[in-house]
Structure 1
Amino acid sequence: MKHMIAAAALLASACLGAAPAAAAVTADEAAKLKSELTPLGGEKAGNKDGSIPAWDGGYTKAPAGYKKGDPRPDPFAGEKPLLTITAANMDAHADKLDEGQKYLLKKYPDYKINVYPTHRTAAAPQWVYDETFKNATRSKLDGYAVTGAFGGVPFPIVKSGTELMWNHSLRVRPAAYSQYFNSYTVDSGGRPSLASGGVNEITVPYYAKGGTPDSIKAGVYYQNLQTTTAPSVRAGELLMYYDQLDNSRPAWQYLVGQRRVRRAPTICCDTPNFVTSGVDFLDQVFVFMGPMDRYEWKLIGKKEMFIPYNNNRLLLADDKEAMKPKFLSPDLIRWELHRVWEVEGNLRAGQRDVRPKRKLYFDEDTSIAVIGNTWDAQGTLWHTSFGFPNIQFDVPAVSMEIWTTMDFIKGNYTYTATREKIMDEPWPENYYTPEALSRKGVR
């Protein structure tokens, strides 16, 4: 297996071309993380009119009666929207809306955006803050690869679009967790169906407390072993992959009909996503899930926008209740005003992808990509993805593990709902091997 990982790493390095290395920031710049910036890199101050408050440490205490492993409640359940945006008043708020929101408001009379008071709930354990501070001066980009990073946001002092892409990929997560998921498709006639259900067994060596940049073996920062349980025709299928700091993703599959493990085909980019019956593409999982070297990522800047945030209510909702004929139920989604980074991706010379242009919007406090848009070769808006950050009291963190992607050309959409259980200990290293995958196959 070590030889396979090494080969994948060499292949990825060869694909990176001659992109220049990016240096870490200076000690003086990093010092801002202990003064004017939050420990994860957001602006600590609020905005001028107070509609975005100052960050005061985030949400770090579980509600009364909450026990680890319970569904995480909505701490703001009693709040009412400050305003509701519809097609009738969208022009007054157009500067705070992305392309996808504008499309939905114009296209569907029953679409609306409920805007609630802004709560800057982003938080992390103190050791993650400490590692983030170290990352500011030790993390570097080498083309599209990352070196020197561990245990926190790799680039809290943002200098480029590629750095933000990595901040999203290396966002704060538990070191190990089981993730039960149902992925649905809703067709152009408004009919929902279960595309896939199952469990992801995830280990994140990058967030293994007590480690160092050198302790991440082979540069593997995220490991997932996915077991499909539904529909019955696919039950027993297994997928295992590693996301690596060199921007590569080796992967293996166990297919029930073949009764053997084989190297998986390309699990990235514009490969149709088999988990959602091919309605969207594999790199639209979590709004974006690398590798990322097909595009030049241009940092446009920072702006105030209405984005999904603190969506514990949606997390608790019944899946069928959440899905409406053309989009998720607006009454279950909480939007807030936050500062976001805007990044535009344009296809690199010599690369091929069915989406030559895309835009991503990243929450400044967490670096989570909360909105992603793509355009086709004719310049038509094709997809909009919304990620729904929610509060994880037991980390503490703001996480994003549920999302939707809408195909505006075909008129259908996907919705992936997840439920998590944080593990006290990660799975052993030998759990994520082709040999273990073969033993786990039961049919």
Structure 2
Amino acid sequence: MKTKAALSAAILSALAIGSSYAAVSSEEAAKLGTSLTAWGSEKQGNADGSIPEYTGGMTKPPANYVAGSGKWVDPFADEKPLFTIDSKNISQYADKVTPGVQELIKRWPDSYRVNVYTTHRTYPQMSAERAAATLKNATNPECKTVSNGVGLSGCVGGIPFPIPKDGYEVMWNHLLRERMPGGFEGRGTNLVVDAAGNLANPQHFSLYSDYPYWSGGGDYYFHSMTNTLAPARDSGNKILLWYPLRYDEKDQRSWSYSTGQRRVRLAPEFSYDTPITPLGGVLYFDEANMFAGRMDRFDFKLVGKKEMYVPYNAYAAVTAPIDTMIGKKHVNPDVVRWELRRVWVVEATLKSGMRHAASKRNYYVEEDSWSIVASEGFDQAGKVFRVLLANTGANYVSGMGGVDFVSSLAGYDLARGGYTVVASQGDPKAYYKPIDKLPANVFTPEAMAGRGVR
């Protein structure tokens, strides 16, 4: 009760401060914390109850979770699918299944399927402090996108656009979705399966990331340092990335370190549709984390909100043993959990005169988490050639006020064949741990050649 009272007081206080200069109307702002959650999702369920009411999310770990282990367990491991969507009945569900997933079913009619489970709204309740910051952003005319959506200015400490007005605002909500203020450390595996169904040598890596936007601000909203552990020929290779808020004024900063060359070099090519070499070229750099980078080559149109079947609460897909998860043509459908969710649909169309391998992309942004949970890319002929599916699960360890999502990503290259699974936790040595604070020098070029992050 105290928590709810504090949250309500924070929301009312922020509304009183910001309403006279509201970027959204006072009527719209008044919905935050009432009919909408503090961060903008609809509290009520849908008409038939297949999407339930939001009641605070999951804030306690399952009984079999071992505290401090970094080993996530599935809270819904005992549940069975409600039904399955496959080549035999896809026509019944076409309006609720993305074009990309429909293409996967069409391509592999005998094996690809979607197992649909009960929808659980697990996303943990936002803290009163962050709720107030979110409302302040919504009602502050200085919190806005700039340069036709390319940059972000004047927003801090909360979701920037809980009541979005265009596609750029939705995409910025994804880029700045709520995270642990101190960041996280982890170890995972990237997997690549070629067109013939052969699994390449897995890339094992360690990763450190932080999110300055959620811990006091700064020019950059995200830092990451990835260190390759195996295969042996690549061990010690590192990639450092900084993503800025003012993309209209600053470039993304990228560095690479190669143990063979023993030097750090700037890597400005790590952007847009440059293939990610360790992933067999199946993903581009702007497909990392479903989307990353500058929004200057596409027009991002907000289509609206829609109920769709997407991967969600997919803890099993994140943590499944590699030999269980990997199939010859696609990820084993039996490890992936799909739920009916409300998603914001954003259509990105290549601007005239701009160059990119994709002519159009669709993004599906889940309403509770502001995470892109699915996307597809269309080639210059208008055919689906890329399908990305995120496997996400709420951080039940951090609880209220420190939210992050443990996740992995499955990406399919339908033009050349083959697929990748990024950040699998299926290896016995894998872990994922939110942490309070990382030393600042972890995310510097000077640290890349050292032993501190090996």
Q: Which moved further from structure 2: 192-201 or 141-150?
A: 192-201
**Residue pairs, 1:193-204, within 5 angstroms:** 193-204=200-211
Task: Give the one of 400, 424, 429 matched to 2:440.
Answer: 429
**Residue pairs, 1:184-263, within 5 angstroms:** 184-208=191-215, 211=216, 216-217=217-218, 219-247=219-247, 248-263=251-266
Gaps of at least 5 residues in structure 2 are 1-21
Mapped partners of 1:28, 1:171: distance in 2: 24
Tell me the residue number matched to 2:413.
Answer: 407
Tell me the residue number matched to 1:48.
Answer: 47
Mapped partners of 1:107, 1:437: distance in 2: 42
Tell me the residue number matched to 1:357.
Answer: 360
Tell me the residue number matched to 1:168.
Answer: 174
- Paired residues of 2:190 and 2:421 also in contact (CA < 8 A): yes
Tell me the residue number matched to 2:118.
Answer: 117
**Residue pairs, 1:321-400, within 5 angstroms:** 321-396=324-399, 397=403, 399-400=405-406
Q: CA offset at residue 420 of structure 1?
A: 4.4
- Paired residues of 1:373 and 1:385 also in contact (CA < 8 A): yes
Mapped partners of 1:336, 1:363: distance in 2: 11
* Partner amino acid, structure 1, of 2:412: M
Mapped partners of 1:37, 1:425: distance in 2: 30
Mapped partners of 1:136, 1:442: distance in 2: 38
TM-score, structure 2 normalization: 0.87
Q: CA offset at residue 195 of structure 1?
A: 4.9
Deviations 1:151-183 (A, max 9, x none): 222111111101111111111222221121211
Task: Give the one of 173, 180, 183 matched to 2:187.
Answer: 180
Mapped partners of 2:436, 2:366: distance in 1: 30
Per the alignment, in what secondary structure is the counterpart of residue 293 of structure 1?
A: coil
Q: CA offset at residue 301 of structure 1?
A: 0.8
Tell me the residue number matched to 2:7.
Answer: none
Q: CA offset at residue 398 of structure 1?
A: 5.8
* Partner amino acid, structure 2, of 1:421: Y
- Paired residues of 1:286 and 1:401 also in contact (CA < 8 A): no
Mapped partners of 2:453, 2:151: distance in 1: 37
Tell me the residue number matched to 1:68.
Answer: 68
Mapped partners of 1:151, 1:394: distance in 2: 21
Deviations 1:95-135 (A, max 9, x none): 10111111122221111111001111112441332322222
Gaps of at least 5 residues in structure 1 are 1-22
Mapped partners of 1:204, 1:278: distance in 2: 27
Tell me the residue number matched to 2:14.
Answer: none
Mapped partners of 1:287, 1:34: distance in 2: 28
Mapped partners of 1:442, 1:135: distance in 2: 36
Tell me the residue number matched to 2:137.
Answer: 135
- Paired residues of 1:188 and 1:410 also in contact (CA < 8 A): yes
Q: Which moved further from structure 2: 187-196 or 319-328?
A: 187-196
Mapped partners of 2:437, 2:187: distance in 1: 16
Q: CA offset at residue 65 of structure 1?
A: 5.0
Q: 1:382 to 1:148 in 2, by over 3 A?
A: same
* Partner amino acid, structure 2, of 1:123: P
Q: 1:190 to 1:236 in 2, by over 3 A?
A: same
Q: CA offset at residue 265 of structure 1?
A: 3.0
Tell me the residue number matched to 1:18.
Answer: none
- Paired residues of 2:70 and 2:433 also in contact (CA < 8 A): no
- Paired residues of 2:81 and 2:117 also in contact (CA < 8 A): yes
TM-score, structure 1 normalization: 0.89
Q: 1:313 to 1:411 in 2, by over 3 A?
A: same
Q: 1:275 to 1:301 in 2, by over 3 A?
A: same
- Paired residues of 2:253 and 2:268 also in contact (CA < 8 A): no
Mapped partners of 2:221, 2:244: distance in 1: 6
Q: CA offset at residue 414 of structure 1?
A: 0.6
Deviations 1:364-405 (A, max 9, x none): 111110111001111111000000111211223461530011
- Paired residues of 1:362 and 1:368 also in contact (CA < 8 A): yes
Tell me the residue number matched to 1:20.
Answer: none
- Paired residues of 2:185 and 2:435 also in contact (CA < 8 A): no
- Paired residues of 2:124 and 2:396 also in contact (CA < 8 A): no
Q: CA offset at residue 335 of structure 1?
A: 0.4
Per the alignment, in what secondary structure is the counterpart of residue 33 of structure 1?
A: coil
Give the fraction of aligned pairs with identical amino acids, expressed as a percent.
37
Per the alignment, in what secondary structure is the counterpart of residue 30 of structure 2?
A: helix
Mapped partners of 2:414, 2:432: distance in 1: 34
May I ask how many residue pairs the two structures share in their alignment? 414
Q: 1:441 to 1:121 in 2, by over 3 A?
A: closer
* Partner amino acid, structure 1, of 2:192: T
- Paired residues of 1:195 and 1:276 also in contact (CA < 8 A): no
Per the alignment, in what secondary structure is the counterpart of residue 32 of structure 2?
A: helix
Q: CA offset at residue 29 of structure 1?
A: 2.0
**Residue pairs, 1:69-108, within 5 angstroms:** 69-108=69-108
Q: 1:253 to 1:413 in 2, by over 3 A?
A: same
Q: 1:429 to 1:442 in 2, by over 3 A?
A: closer
- Paired residues of 2:189 and 2:205 also in contact (CA < 8 A): yes
Deviations 1:258-279 (A, max 9, x none): 2111111322110011230222
Tell me the residue number matched to 2:27.
Answer: 28
- Paired residues of 2:56 and 2:125 also in contact (CA < 8 A): no
Deviations 1:266-324 (A, max 9, x none): 22110011230222211112221222221100111111100000011222210221011
Mapped partners of 1:89, 1:349: distance in 2: 39
- Paired residues of 1:72 and 1:392 also in contact (CA < 8 A): no
Deviations 1:41-95 (A, max 9, x none): 1111111111111111111122235313342221111111111111111111111
Per the alignment, in what secondary structure is the counterpart of residue 340 of structure 2?
A: strand
Per the alignment, in what secondary structure is the counterpart of residue 446 of structure 2?
A: helix
Mapped partners of 1:400, 1:167: distance in 2: 18
